[in-house]
Homo-oligomer: A and B are copies of this chain.
Amino acid sequence: MAMYLGVVGVGGVGSAFIEQLGRLPNAPELILLSRSSQTLLSPKQDYSPRIPAADWAIAAATPLLIKTGHALSPKEMAEYLASAPGRAILVDTTTDLTLAQAYPLFLQKGISVVTPNKKGFSSDLSLWHAIFASAAQGNALVYHQATVGGSLPVLSTLRDLVATGDEIIRIEGVLSGSLSLLFDQFMPAHGSSDEQWSTLVAHAREIGHTEPDPRDDLNGMDFARKLTILARVIGLDVANPDSFPVESLIPAELSSLPSAAEFMDQLPRFDAQMNSLKDKARNQGKVVRYVGSIDVPTKAIKVGLQHFDEDSPIANLKGSQIISMYTKRYGDMPLILKGGGGGGEITAMAVMADLLKVMGRLN
């Protein structure tokens, strides 16, 4: 049976995803493609012609496709997809909370959801519960591998451990590719660096390794959202990503500056502070890294700076992400996943792998 696909967002992940979709054998039928300025739809009578994924950027010129001059509301999208003559799947490649809040609506209508958008799974706990209850109710599937660890199989592995009755004891790691790289450049495990923190942040921002406003990486909230999701998959009821200690790398004085540009202008004032963090670690023969952990027995979750031996795996990530899972069955040899997890194409690959799994299960 044919499957019908709606894709929202054509940013870095979205455009890479659609490009991969264009090369996929037996791809599902793309009938909805939504961006902030426009939505493309296959006409509703027979949901044909489809949107050509291989040429999506010029698809707006395809005759017979419907073009709206605006983004559809989540409710309109859900109704459109639910009427398709087969199982429908929503691929949300945005970082939009409003769309994520509508996942329960899609799922109740039997539309499965595949997404790298962390918002739905890391905001209020009630939304998390509503998403999975709605999926059960609508007999639909929710796959969100790419919300943690890029395309590293973090969530699927953790879910397998839990489903087969292993007991998770502790999870720790570096789940921010941009902070992993910044700290490697600021204080490499071997050799040394004279670069100032503010210079490195400015450079990372220029080449697109941070969010447009680097404070969205430096405040640790993206990392905290990932830990929230991991903790919930284990079964810990984390209220939201503000409910545990997160060490922000934004100096308090700069947190309320209105623009990213002003923040970047002011950041050099705090280089001395960062250098003293570095010196303190070096005096103990260590390096400083930004890590997160979940200790299951005590339910303690935290994100922040820690010292590591120069030869430890975490000191030598060079921009990779890493996650270690300590479980009852694995004992003192934890299960470790590591890799250059971020980037549009890698994240799109994780979304695509999820889509293939959903298609396999709906078939």
Contact = CB atoms under 8 A, between A and B. Distances in A.
A165 B151 CA distance: 13
Interface stretch (A156-164, A246-254, A260-268): A156-164
Contacts of A333: 318-320, 339-340
Number of copies: 2
A152 B349 contact: no
Contact of A346 (B23, B24, B319, B330): B330
Contacts of A24: 165
Contacts of A20: 164-165
Contact of A334 (B311, B339, B346, B350): B339
A353 B160 contact: yes
Given A335-B339, A338-B335, A360-B361, A345 B320 contact: no
- State which size class the interface on A falls in: 35 or more
A84 interface: no
Interface in A322-357: 329-340, 345-346, 349-350, 352-353, 356
A346 B329 contact: yes
A192 to B, nearest CB: 18
A311 B315 CA distance: 13
Contact of A164 (B152, B311, B334, B349): B349
A334 to B, nearest CB: 7
A85 interface: no
Contacts of A212: none
Contacts of A157: 153
A313 interface: yes
Contacts of A318: 333
B166 A335 contact: no
B349 A329 contact: yes
Nearest to A328: B345
Contact of A356 (B151, B163, B336, B353): B163
Nearest to A17: B164
12 contacts: A20-B165, A151-B335, A153-B153, A153-B156, A153-B160, A156-B156, A164-B353, A165-B352, A319-B333, A329-B346, A333-B339, A337-B337
Interface of A: 20, 23-24, 151-153, 156-157, 160-161, 163-166, 311, 313, 318-320, 329-340, 345-346, 349-350, 352-353, 356, 360-361, 363
